Chain A
Amino acid sequence: MNKKVLMQGNQAIAEAALAAGMKVCAGYPITPSTEVVELLSRKLPAYGGRFIQMEDEIASIGVIIGASAAGKKAMTATSGPGFSLMQELLGYAAMVEIPIVIYNAQRVGPSTGGATMPQQGDIMQTKWGSHGESPRIALCPSSVEEAYNLTITAFNLSEKYMVPVVILADEILAHIRESITIPESDSFEIINRRNNAPPQEEYLPYKVDHTGIPILPPLGGGYRYNISGMIHGDKGVPNLAPETIDYCIQRINSKLKKHYNDIVMVEKMEEENSKIAVLAYGSTARPAKGAVKMAIENGIKVDFIRLITIWPFPEREVREIARRVDKILVPEMNYEGQVAGLVKQSIEGAAEVVQFNKISGLPIYVEEIYNQIIKIERGEK
């Protein structure tokens, strides 16, 4: 039977990680993510797992990469400053295709910023924070229950596509307490990375089949291959031939494109003949949805789209919305409008993007978004 419980966002993420079969967690305390490592330090040993508090976030991500290379599902939890420190090894994990899950509870930045307040300022850093170009998946939960489910999805996608997955939440979700339904453990799918490598004599670690995804057996599991952040071909050893560089970078970056439909998730509410859409994600999506409902009750037709997957960016779904409406309102807790920019890039002028940015450390409220909708409706925006 499903269980109904009162849970904090951070707690839901920790509990779901255990349910997903995570066995190694390493972290360095940072508000607003700390409850995750505290909880896992207490619970992991009973689940056959180990927790360690490392000397910094660089070490923490190093540990989870090592643990995953040795065959265990592994995660870390952090926020802005710690996430910044992890960038080099985040790119490394993507390059060597070792699956890891990172929970980033976004707080007010830049720098120390404001530890106990929300922001949506790490969208670009998540994808582009490390040097070069490498793939990752990022998921944005907007409720505690969804945080639970998406954490399981994060591990599944990471194992399936051998890629780092970032659970990109924010301080609101991290600390909010909600009553949620915990699914029965046999009611959701658990995906483990493939382990059906050919015999050692024929085995090449980075030689891929039609899926584009390598099979990397656990270190110590009988295969003697090399894992390296240097450009590598099928063999996994350094190889700087121009055609190998081209192949290596193409392959790691195109593999998620191949599986776009399986990875990209959005929630949509569409009205007939609406001229306005509201596009939101994470904690901002809840007041956004509330505002859309309010508008509809007051006779204004508004579409709603919530991006659950933020990387790879749901450009097809966003383009579809742009074809339906004239204006897309994008409320975000950041200064530049990081997602608004991505929307513009995706829709290439098919609709007008109206930004609403709030950076005060306070949540965006329903009325604020509703007022924006009214202004657009009246032609004032």
Chain B
Amino acid sequence: MSKLDKYLRLDQFPHFACSGCGHGIALASMVRAIDKLELDQNTTIMVCAIGCAGRLPVYLNFPSIRTAHGRALTIATGIKLANPKLKVIVFMGDGDAAAIGGNHLIHAARRNIDMTAIIAINEIYGMTGGQYAPTTKSGHFASTAPFGMIEPQMDICKLVEAAGATFVARGDIYHVVELEKLMLKAISHKGFSVVEALTNCPTQFGRRNKNSRPSEMIKNIKEMTITKKQAEQLSKEELEHKLLRGILIDKERPEYIEEYDRITNFQEEGSLK
């Protein structure tokens, strides 16, 4: 038995994910961060929705709520308005968070309610069989982009930064120790925090892009990301196909519910525990 077993709904195993799927690594990093932070398992709420990434938190032994595709952040917002003392963590796929749920992501970042959104980026819709996501790179193939992706890739970190997120970080499942640290920082941050975790989907993305060996895919991810320091050494051209890794934004701004309660002279009634 591992010391993390207490965070798992062991009776739900075996899980549904494919072997070689990177989502589990991202999820495990989150669990280790929660363990390091010694968060209370009863008052840390897992919110998720639909997709391979969206289904994973159901395996975790926290109070959990899984809603309709794209709507996790709205449910999370409601939980916080009802009881701001709860710790709320939202785990989503890139389609879930940035396509169907994109509008909610923008406005959640703008409001700055104290919660953490973890977005597992695999460049594809895994659950539905390999259709393209807003994060699919131009030229990559998907079941609905049989001639290659035409649309430009969406940079979710830039999007939420522009929308006003107060903590934004990008990590990947190769640099897993770093990913855990980023998640730890994000979860401890006061305000709306976002961690983008680059993961791999060998089954639906790899297969269509001539690289379905998980180890190869993870190596590619490793080569795709660089730290700020490494970036300083590179030319503009060299930077073009790289993604910055690490904490991208970390700032303070009044937290929405604290601000709401202050300006409205909110009168606590009974026990908003």
Contacts and interface: CB of A to CB of B under 8 A. Distances in A.
Asked if chains A and B come from one complex, the reply is: yes
B58 A238 contact: yes
Contacts of B254: none
Interface in A46-74: 46-50, 52, 54-56, 58-72, 74
A48 B270 contact: yes
Interface size class, chain B: 35 or more
A237 interface: yes
A226 B67 contact: no
Contact of A72 (B76, B82, B264): B82
24 contacts: A24-B82, A45-B260, A48-B269, A48-B270, A50-B81, A52-B77, A58-B71, A59-B104, A62-B73, A62-B77, A66-B65, A67-B79, A70-B45, A71-B82, A92-B67, A219-B86, A220-B273, A221-B42, A222-B42, A224-B64, A226-B65, A227-B64, A227-B65, A228-B65
A128 interface: no
Residue of A56, A64, A226 contacting most chain B CB atoms (<10 Å): A226
Interface in B35-74: 41-43, 45, 47, 55, 58, 61-68, 71, 73-74
A45 B78 contact: no
A173 interface: no
Interface in A227-258: 227-230, 237-238
Q: Which 6 A-B pairs have the closest CB atoms?
A: A66-B78, A62-B74, A48-B269, A45-B264, A70-B82, A66-B75
A274 to B, nearest CB: 49
A293 interface: no
A224 B268 contact: no
B90 to A, nearest CB: 11
A92 B65 contact: no
Contacts of A356: none
A58 to B, nearest CB: 7
B58 A45 contact: no
A71 B270 CA distance: 13
Interface residues of A, number: 48
Nearest to B49: A229
A37 to B, nearest CB: 14
A69 B86 CA distance: 12
Contacts of B75: 62-63, 65-66, 69
B66 A226 contact: yes
A294 interface: no
Interface string B249-273: 0000000010011001111111011
Contacts of A72: 81-83
Contacts of B76: 66
A136 interface: no
A218 B83 CA distance: 10
Nearest to A52: B81
Interface of B: 9, 12, 41-43, 45, 47, 55, 58, 61-68, 71, 73-83, 85-86, 103-104, 106-107, 257, 260-261, 264-270, 272-273
Contacts of A23: 82, 269
B265 A48 contact: no
B110 to A, nearest CB: 9
Contacts of A64: 78
Contacts of A56: 103
B257 A71 contact: no
A320 interface: no
A227 B86 CA distance: 17
Given A48-B269, A70-B86, A220-B86, A226 B64 contact: yes
Contact of A220 (B45, B61, B78): B45
A63 B76 CA distance: 7
A329 interface: no
B63 A219 contact: yes
Nearest to A89: B68
B17 to A, nearest CB: 14
B63 A48 contact: no
Nearest to B70: A58
Given A225-B63, A228-B65, 10 more contacts: A45-B265, A62-B77, A65-B78, A66-B78, A220-B42, A220-B45, A220-B63, A226-B66, A227-B64, A227-B65
A88 B261 CA distance: 31
B71 A89 contact: yes
A278 interface: no
A228 B65 CA distance: 6
Contact of B43 (A47, A63, A96, A220): A220
B65 A48 contact: no
A26 B103 CA distance: 16
A47 B268 CA distance: 8
A59 B107 contact: yes
A50 B106 CA distance: 21
A217 B268 CA distance: 21
A71 B86 CA distance: 12
B100 to A, nearest CB: 10
A72 B78 CA distance: 10
B163 to A, nearest CB: 11
Interface in A65-96: 65-72, 74, 88-89, 92, 96
Contacts of A227: 64-66
Contacts of B81: 24, 26, 50, 52, 63, 66-67, 72
Nearest to A56: B103
Given A54-B74, A58-B74, A92-B68, A66 B269 contact: no
B63 A223 contact: yes
B78 A63 contact: yes
Contact of B67 (A26, A60, A62): A62
A24 B58 CA distance: 26
